[in-house]
Structure 1
Amino acid sequence: MGQPKDNPSAKANSEPKQLPTSPPPPRPPVSLIKPSEKKKNKPTKVVRAFRSVVRSFPIWTPAVCKFPGLPGSLPESNRISSGTRITGTLFGYRKGRVSFSMQENPKCLPTLVVELAMQTNTLQKEMSSGMVRIALECEKRSEKDKVKLLDEPVWSMYCNGKKSGYGIKRDATDEDLNVMELLKAVSMGAGVLPGNSEVEGPDGELAYMRAHFERVVGSKDSETLYMLSPGGDNSPELSLFFVRV
């Protein structure tokens, strides 16, 4: 008797069928607008002279300062408001690096996106344990090579005094813009968004926290962002320091 021949159709039926994967949901079109270009009035000679005198005063660290060793990082109720209010968003996949976006308001395109040297879940733990200070430092350039402070490409990052790596400034990616678009109606708050990246896939959750920040420009080599608490307590829970040293 001859050997039975294989039945191709039966063999194909015995193999498990792979279900087609559904494509990720389409991203909404970006409707964010460009930030306004506000012309800064040049200070008069009297104002410049007054500033030079004030800068010559010694810096005192009051007893109520919650950030010892960082002059000027006082609670909102104990310092004079001298900055502008901006919208800041911390976002990232739970096991990925967290990014910080700065906008003039939630409806505008980001003016700054920095990828921080910290995982999102690590920052969440730090935030739950108390005050968080993030310092981003870079070296001073020569006058001919000098750029605006927030245009520096690489920063040494310190979280609560401990070095954690390097922060990287980047142009806003399509995914960054998608996050800002989804949060356009949110002025402050925290939560999760559905993932939509090639790395995490459509099932990965992207955590975010958005708040108002007071932006205080100390000099060409120093800027600080103080997060303003949405509750009755006005003391910042998170501060970001951009410094050339």
Structure 2
Amino acid sequence: MAAVDQSSSSSRRYFDWYPLEETAIDTEPAVALLPSDFHHSFDALSVSEDGDDTLALRPLMRRPTPKKKVRKVLKSVINSVISCNRHPSSLDHPTLGSRVIGTLFGYRKGHVHFAFQSDPGSIPALLVELATPTCCLVKEMASGLVRIALECERERSGCGGQKGRSRGRPLLQEPVWRTYCNGRKSGYAVARECTMGDMRVLRSVQAITMGAGVLPGSGPEGELMYMRARFERVVGSRDSEAFYMINPDGTGGPELSIFLLRV
């Protein structure tokens, strides 16, 4: 069975295609079609009066299109194409409520990533890559309670040492964080755009409410480990938020807490 050309199959959804009929060879002189000029259009074809086979074209003069209008049309077309094909990670930044889903994942020999989602199938409102190796965080969590603090600095505008106003960026959209794990400095964390690989990991654990384990398969950095749970989100101010892991039995303190601070 011959492979079907995808371009032709997609075109048949919008156009009706008919087979060409066999016709007798026309002995009349062929007409050469001329490309239309940008400032002209040809509204009619007429045979010259002297009886020869040449065709006379009557151009209809048009007023040149203003450059601003052309730019506006091109800009609208480009924006429509980008909006139809843009990556999921570039969509409008999602928001979080008081209860969120948190997922920590990473290769055993790689770095830890954690993501917060409003629901299991949504795009993460926050996806951060820590400098902490996954194996180190696993050992830390096995020993007891884990407190992760992420700190960033306000962006201020001013001169002469005077403090200016903050830029007003939402706390969850800060790009770089200083990381502290149980009071010890652990390098820097970087906010990342959610890639298709990240979404595949989140969708593979979408049905899990709470648990930890290893996903099937492995990469060059070892096995892909994950931990997933529900978190309670507490907003202290526009410069501070906290995420407390909710225990399934409702007893005891949270085993994992993540704090976001802008200082």
TM-score, normalised to structure 1's length? Answer: 0.63
Alignment of 1:114 with 2:145, yes or no, is no
The DSSP-based 3-state class of the residue aligned with 1:145 is coil
Measure, in 2, the Cα distance between the counterparts of 1:155 and 1:179.
24
How far the C-alpha of 1:234 sits from its partner, in A, is 4.2
1:26-68 CA-partner distances (Å, limit 9, x unpaired): xxxxx9xx99977x9xxxxxxxxxxxxxxxxxxxxxxxxxxxx
Alignment of 1:233 with 2:251, yes or no, is yes
The DSSP-based 3-state class of the residue aligned with 2:139 is helix
Summarize the alignment of residues 4-83 of structure 1 with structure 2, pairs less than 5 Å apart. Answer: none
**Please, which moves more after superposition, 91-100 or 134-143?**
134-143
Name the residue aligned to 2:233.
215
Measure, in 2, the Cα distance between the counterparts of 1:213 and 1:235.
12
AA aligned opposite 1:132: V
Based on CA coordinates, which of the two structures has the bigger radius of gyration?
A: 2
Which ranges in structure 1 are unaligned for 5 or more consecutive residues?
1-30, 41-82
How far the C-alpha of 1:194 sits from its partner, in A, is 2.5
The number of residues matched between the two structures is 168
Alignment of 1:242 with 2:263, yes or no, is no
How far the C-alpha of 1:232 sits from its partner, in A, is 4.3
Is the contact between residue 192 and residue 205 of structure 1 (CA under 8 Å) also seen in structure 2?
yes
**1:100 pairs with one of 114, 118, 121:** 114
How far the C-alpha of 1:157 sits from its partner, in A, is 0.3
AA aligned opposite 1:168: V
AA aligned opposite 1:87: I
1:84-130 CA-partner distances (Å, limit 9, x unpaired): 11000000001110100100111212111000121111111110111
Is the contact between residue 94 and residue 124 of structure 2 (CA under 8 Å) also seen in structure 1?
no
Percent of aligned positions with the same letter in both sequences? Answer: 55
Name the residue aligned to 1:153.
175
Measure, in 1, the Cα distance between the counterparts of 2:246 and 2:258.
12
Name the residue aligned to 1:70.
none
Alignment of 1:190 with 2:204, yes or no, is no
The DSSP-based 3-state class of the residue aligned with 2:202 is helix
> CA-atom RMSD, angstroms?
2.6
Summarize the alignment of residues 107-146 of structure 1 with structure 2, pairs less than 5 Å apart. Answer: 107-142=121-156, 143=165, 145-146=167-168
Alignment of 1:205 with 2:223, yes or no, is yes
How far the C-alpha of 1:170 sits from its partner, in A, is 0.4
Name the residue aligned to 1:71.
none
AA aligned opposite 1:124: V
Measure, in 2, the Cα distance between the counterparts of 1:103 and 1:136.
18
Is the contact between residue 35 and residue 109 of structure 1 (CA under 8 Å) also seen in structure 2?
no
Measure, in 1, the Cα distance between the counterparts of 2:124 and 2:194.
7
TM-score, normalised to structure 2's length? Answer: 0.59
Name the residue aligned to 2:242.
224
Measure, in 2, the Cα distance between the counterparts of 1:236 and 1:125.
17
Is the contact between residue 35 and residue 104 of structure 1 (CA under 8 Å) also seen in structure 2?
no
Which ranges in structure 2 are unaligned for 5 or more consecutive residues?
1-87, 157-164
AA aligned opposite 2:249: G
